[in-house]
Amino acid sequence: MPLPAALLSLLQEIFPPGALSTAEAERRAHAYDNSRLNALPDAVVFPTEHAQVEALVRACRSHRVPLTARGGGTSSTGASVPLQGGVVANFQRMSRILRIDPDDRLAVVEPGVTNEALQQALAPHGFFWAPDPGSAPWCTVGGNLACNASGPHAVKYGSTRDNVLGLAAVAGTGESFRCGTQTTKSAIGYDLTRLLVGSEGTLAIITEATLKLTPKPAGLRTLRATYRDAGSAAKAVARIMAQPATPCALEFMDALALKLAREHSPEAGVPEAEALLMIELDGAPDALDAATAAVEAAARVDGLVQLEVARDEAHTRALWAARKALSFAQRAVTQHKINEDVVVPVSRLPGLIDAVHALAEKHAVPIVSFGHAGNGNLHVNLLPRDVDEIERAYAALPELFARVLALGGTLSGEHGIGAVKREFMPLAVSDATLALMRGVKAAFDPDGILNPGKLLP
């Protein structure tokens, strides 16, 4: 249904021509993300400053109209789909890098800057921001914050939540506030910064972020190990993570992942193996030899087939080719991929891999396992190709989640809950904890206008 005339009039006062649209084409462009969900908003706005966002939230609250924040639209959980219509706020025009301060190792940015653009701006200063999801060229910092998205470097440098110092935001009440500090140590009450990161835009709309920066390492070393079975590779991961030299990336691919990558990109030289680990170490060049030797020793478990250390940059790119080819390879197989990013303690990774293989056999559906093994975070992607396989794949999901939780794990490492995992939240979170979460939601957004239908069941 169209917006109330009084609200539309308010929005026209807040946003200049070209920054507000009710045209069907614009609304359709904001009706979906990287999930298969689709819901048409009633209007789209393009904020360029904090004051507009505050006025927008107040206007939507006064008319009890839903408001959904959107960055690059790369969410795979439907987190940025306006399920109940209303207004979508596209933040891609709030994309300024306001400050880069190498002395204090921080940057202050608006939410619409892309992850890649931020990294490019930081590089001349000798720094980087640790989160590096695969969608970095398109995803925005605001989206990274909303879903606590991380990427492979989280194994050493932490998730997005660990790399944010402070935020400016507008709560669902329409009140502006700041939280956090510009220091890496702080003990001044409740940590609202960490609370907002990962809240998927359900508590407040972030308009500015102060990010913790990390110096770029002087040296880098890449290794690739193949194994005769996935269990051996999983045991190697546990051994690698139990010794002092922490990799900056530790990625796993199972046999089906390797097969798909090999068939899709035969020129990439993807090895034939039952499992593969990509291991990356960084640090001072004079310390890398010892760190590499320690990781090599840990990787040499029974079942190792081959271990290569990259000779130069070209060889490094060649070793990473299999991992780079996988995303496109999966899309070539099916348009019905079901993305999951479950997490277990690293020591229990062998149990997760065994469980995934058992589910694939039981439900007769292809399942690819790959991802950030150093965190115990695997992307378990079900690849149904027809109606029957789709039905069996969705039947397998509750069993996958139950097994993950039995292993001491959790439902998502970086994709978030969004709309597609809401129904499974009670499996992972107790009634008492959910009640506290609902209390937090009510304090920040008493009328429930911010991104309704997400996160909380």
- pLDDT tens digits along 345-355: 999 999 999 99
Q: How far apart are the first and last CA of the chain?
A: 25
Burial class (CB in 10 A: 0-12, 13-18, 19+), 93: middle
- Quick one: pLDDT at residue 265? 84
Q: What is the mean pLDDT of residues 85-105?
A: 98
Q: Quick check: helix, strand or coil at residue 10?
A: helix
**In CATH, what class is 5-90?**
alpha beta
**Percentage of the chain lying above the pLDDT 90 cut:** 86
Check whether 134 has a pLDDT greater than 90.
no
- Quick one: pLDDT at residue 209? 98
Average pLDDT over the chain, rounded to whole?
94
The predicted-structure confidence for 17-69, as pLDDT tens digits, reads as follows 999 999 999 999 999 998 889 999 999 999 999 999 999 999 999 999 999 99
**In CATH, what class is 97-215?**
alpha beta
- Quick one: pLDDT at residue 233? 96
Check whether 328 has a pLDDT greater than 80.
no
Q: Are strands 43-45 and 87-90 parallel, antiparallel or unpaired?
A: parallel
* Residue 268's pLDDT band (cuts 50, 70, 90): confident
Cβ atoms of 193 and 210 closer than 8 Å: no
The predicted-structure confidence for 235-263, as pLDDT tens digits, reads as follows 999 999 999 999 999 999 999 999 998 88
Return d(Cα 108, Cα 151) in angstroms, integer. 21
| Three-state SS letters, 150-164 | CCCCHHHHCCHHHHE
- Please state the domain extents for the chain: 5-90, 97-215, 219-406
The token duo for 191 is 């940590």
Check whether 293 has a pLDDT greater than 90.
yes
The predicted-structure confidence for 187-199, as pLDDT tens digits, reads as follows 889 999 999 999 9
The predicted-structure confidence for 142-187, as pLDDT tens digits, reads as follows 999 999 998 899 999 999 999 999 999 999 999 999 999 998 888 8
Check whether 412 has a pLDDT greater than 80.
yes
**In CATH, what class is 219-406?**
alpha beta
**Percentage of the chain lying above the pLDDT 70 cut:** 100
Among 83, 1, 92, 89, residue whose Cα is nearest residue 42: 1
- Quick one: pLDDT at residue 195? 98
CA 26 to chain centre: 26
The token duo for 306 is 């081959």
- Quick one: pLDDT at residue 190? 96
H/E stretch holding 392:
helix 387-406
The predicted-structure confidence for 365-406, as pLDDT tens digits, reads as follows 999 999 999 999 999 999 999 999 999 999 999 999 999 999
Return d(Cα 399, Cα 340) in angstroms, integer. 13
